[in-house]
Amino acid sequence: MRISIIIPVYKNKELFLHNFKLNYPLLKKDEIIIIDDASQENLAPDVTKIGKNIQIIENHENLGFSKSVNIASKQANGDIIVLLNSDVRLQEKFQDQIIKHFKQDEDLCAVSFLQIEKNGKSVGKNIIGFSKGLPYHNEAKNFKLGINAWAEGGSCAIRKKYWNSLGGFNQLYTPFYWEDIDFSYRAHARGWKIIFDPEIIVQHHHESTIKKYFSENFIKTIAYRNQLIFTWSNITDVSLTLQHILFLPYHILRLTLKGERAFLIGLLRAIIMIPQIYAIRNKFITQRVVTDVELLKLLNN
């Protein structure tokens, strides 16, 4: 099985080059695709100094994470695509371990990695639940090999044919957040598996680019908007849908009184996108074979 490495880059040129220089010896036998999301930092000359046979795609305008990864994936020739953020540093070779998983289980859609944060904390295994009308995500209580709620977009491996079948990341989530959760939820709903492997270890200093180049209020607004897009796109269970409708006024009032205007703005932005959301939702409903109740039970352990 062949592996294609996809690395989206936006700003933080020095961080990307530092990590890529360290990562390249572990990746040089794989197809490597770097997509420069209009960073305006002229990456190509420095990248070509690091290694050969590296494909560089340059966006003429900033398209965001989802669109950039989708563009790069269309150029990938591998059976497996590995998504690595520019702030990820590999600890050791992982290709053989990944290939072993995919060869053993034809229903395996993705493998997510153990990530070591800057403060030494381990992350990468997650849960998804539903409370007071909204989905939530959190860290899992254990880091054992097994089912994972979602494969994090900055450090995971995905079977290319399943990626193509699901259409890659949903671009409604542009510029960031929830796209990997949405992809993974749709994969689980199709009856495919996403697992966490604690033996594949990377260093990942999350959000080092997002927090540097986007305001806190904008980040919150997008996070709330995308939480609602996820809900309206994916939750089809009648009882959960009613719960969402009943609790929505409560969340609007509660967060408005707290001065959290980002939720209301995020809601308005999501409402504008309802026609696009429901076009995707209607397609998703025809593909799924696992109910929300079954999924949330599976993904909340």
Tell me the pLDDT of the chain (301 aa) as tens digits: 999 999 999 988 899 999 999 999 999 999 999 999 998 888 999 999 999 889 999 999 999 999 999 999 999 999 999 999 999 999 999 999 999 999 999 999 999 999 999 888 999 999 999 999 999 999 999 999 999 999 999 999 999 999 999 999 999 999 999 999 999 999 999 999 999 999 999 998 765 667 777 899 999 999 999 999 999 999 999 999 999 999 999 999 999 999 989 999 999 999 999 999 999 999 999 999 999 999 999 999 8
Q: How far is it, in rounded angstroms, from Cα 177 to Cα 245?
A: 23
Query: If you ran DSSP here, which 8-state letter would residue 105 be given?
Result: -
What rounded mean pLDDT belongs to the chain?
A: 95
- Beta strand 126-131 with 31-36: parallel, antiparallel or unpaired? unpaired
Would you say 153 and 169 are in contact if contact means Cβ atoms under 8 Å apart? yes
Q: How far is it, in rounded angstroms, from Cα 31 to Cα 226?
A: 32
Partners of 129 in the β-ladder: 136
The pLDDT, as a whole number, for residue 195 is 98
**The two three-digit tokens of residue 54, written as one number:** 């590296």
Partners of 55 in the β-ladder: 33
Q: How far is it, in rounded angstroms, from Cα 211 to Cα 188?
A: 30
- Main-chain dihedrals φ then ψ at residue 81, nearest 5 degrees: -110, 135
Query: Where are the alpha helices (H) located in the chain, listed in sequence order?
Result: 13-27, 44-50, 65-75, 95-104, 160-166, 179-189, 210-213, 216-234, 238-257, 261-272, 274-287, 292-298
Nearest to 41 by CA among 76, 79, 83, 11: 11
| Peptide bond connecting 135 to the previous residue in cis, omega within 30 degrees of 0 | no
Q: How far is it, in rounded angstroms, from Cα 298 to Cα 32?
A: 34
**The two three-digit tokens of residue 263, written as one number:** 């939720």
Cβ neighbours, 10 Å, residue 254: 13
- Beta strand 146-147 with 193-204: parallel, antiparallel or unpaired? antiparallel
Q: How far is it, in rounded angstroms, from Cα 292 to Cα 276?
A: 21
- Main-chain dihedrals φ then ψ at residue 220, nearest 5 degrees: -65, -45
Q: How far is it, in rounded angstroms, from Cα 282 to Cα 280?
A: 6
What count of residues does the chain have?
301
Degrees, nearest 5: CA angle 159-206-234 = 50
User: Structure pTM?
Assistant: 0.95
Query: If you ran DSSP here, which 8-state letter would residue 267 be given?
Result: H
pLDDT tens, residue by residue, 233-286:
999 999 999 999 999 999 999 999 999 899 999 999 999 999 999 999 999 999
The pLDDT, as a whole number, for residue 208 is 61
